[in-house]
Amino acid sequence: MNYLGETSLILPGWPGYRNRPGRSGLDYLDSEFELGHMEGLFIRALITGRLRTNRVAYLILMAVVSAFGLLLFSLPVIESLLGGYVFPVVWCDSLLPGALGILLLWNLVLNLRQR
pLDDT in tens, 65-82: 999 999 999 999 898 889
Half-sphere exposure of 52 (CA within 13 A, CB side): 4
Give helix then strand counts, H and E, for the chain.
Answer: 4, 0
| pLDDT grade for 3, boundaries at 50, 70 and 90 | low
What's the pLDDT at 51?
Answer: 95
pTM: 0.80
| In the predicted structure, residue 2 carries a pLDDT above the cut 70 | no
Distance of alpha carbon 73 from alpha carbon 106, whole angstroms: 16
| In the predicted structure, residue 1 carries a pLDDT above the cut 60 | no
Q: Is 49 left (phi over 0), alpha (psi -120 to 50) or beta?
A: left
- Percent of all residues in the chain with a pLDDT value above 70, rounded to a whole number: 97
